[in-house]
Amino acid sequence: MTEQISPGALYRLMTFLSPAFPVGAFTYSHGLEQVIEQGVVTDRAELERWLQDVLRYGAGRTDAILLAETHRSVLTGDKNGVRDLRELGLALQPSRERHLETADQGTAFIRTVQKSWRPEANGQASLFQELVDADQDDWPYPVSVGLVCAAHGIPLQAAITSFLQAFAANLVSAAIRAIPLGQNDGQRVVANLEAVVFDVSDEARQAGLDDLGSSAFHADIASMAHETQYSRLFRS
């Protein structure tokens, strides 16, 4: 069943996951730049297949589950659960650059929201303030998005779907610059990923921490190899 979202929550969701929100997403390619350099991804069809796998079997699915678990923990007032998910989200990263990618974006995201978008006073808002005021340590991106969306009354289905769409669209934007790929071809890829994003979103909402796992090994290895790539546009 589709969850209802209020106009105010929709406005905030669109703002939080907009390419213009200052988390620096445009500087990361999630290892995609490496496989483009290797000649593995050279056109629209190969890009679409690569992103389908990353969404279904890699960080897309894993991050969606972390987001969902965080959202549920906030709604039930489980402060320690959120803290555990924060540590888990950072520990799961397979390479230094992927750790940088999630930590820098997640921390920038939560600090920007903290300074500019205070949630209305309620139990979730109090938990949000207590957690983010406690220290200045890093936050993994999906955990920070789950925390913020729950605190701002954004339903889980909308939060996960928008998060995955933003993730895919950012990687398409990276491919447009790095392959290079035309804007129309880039939009075709985003359009063709719609069903995949919906499938992963539905799966993540029904999953739990026992379902965490990734089998997108080529993407993980690409993120490791990218660390020593001679010429780079992106930080991952």
* Global pTM exceeds 0.85: yes
215 SS3 class: coil
pLDDT tens-place string over residues 47-96 = 999 999 999 999 999 999 999 999 999 999 999 999 999 999 999 999 99
Q: How confident is the model at residue 28, as a pLDDT?
A: 97
Task: Give the list of residues 6+ apart from residue 137 with CB closer than 8 angstroms, or none.
Answer: none
- How sure is the predictor about 182, in pLDDT bands with cuts at 50, 70 and 90? very high
Query: In the numeric block, which tokens belong to residue 136?
Result: 């200045």
Residues 6 or more apart in contact with residue 185 via CB below 8 angstroms: 43, 44
Angle value at C-alpha 235, between 233 and 236, nearest 5 degrees: 105
Q: Are 26 and 173 in contact (CB under 8 A)?
A: yes
Q: In the structure, what pLDDT confidence band is assigned to residue 17 with cuts at 50, 70 and 90?
A: very high
Phi, psi of 139 (to 5 degrees): -120, 130
Q: What pLDDT does residue 3 have?
A: 81
128 backbone dihedrals φ, ψ, rounded to 5°: -55, -50
Mean pLDDT of the chain: 95
Asked if the model's pLDDT at residue 1 lies above 60, the reply is no
Q: What are the backbone angles phi and psi of residue 235, rounded to the nearest 5°? A: -85, -10
Pick from 135, 223, 194, 181: nearest CA to 42: 181
Nearest to 189 by CA among 164, 165, 172: 172
Residues in the chain: 236
> Per-residue pLDDT averaged across 109-120, rounded?
90
The 3-class SS string of 28-53 reads: CCCCHHHHHHHCCCCCHHHHHHHHHH
CATH topology of domain 7-18+27-225: Urease accessory protein UreF (1.10.4190)
Which amino acid belongs to residue 77? Answer: G
The domain spans of the chain are 7-18+27-225
Count Cβ atoms within 10 A of the Cβ of residue 170 and give its class: 0-12 exposed, 13-18 middle, 19 or more buried: buried
Per-residue pLDDT of 151-175, as tens digits, reads 999 999 999 999 999 999 999 999 9
Burial 27-49 (b: 16+ CB within 10 A, else e): ebbbbbbbbbbeeebeebebbbe
The pLDDT of 217-221, averaged and rounded, is: 95
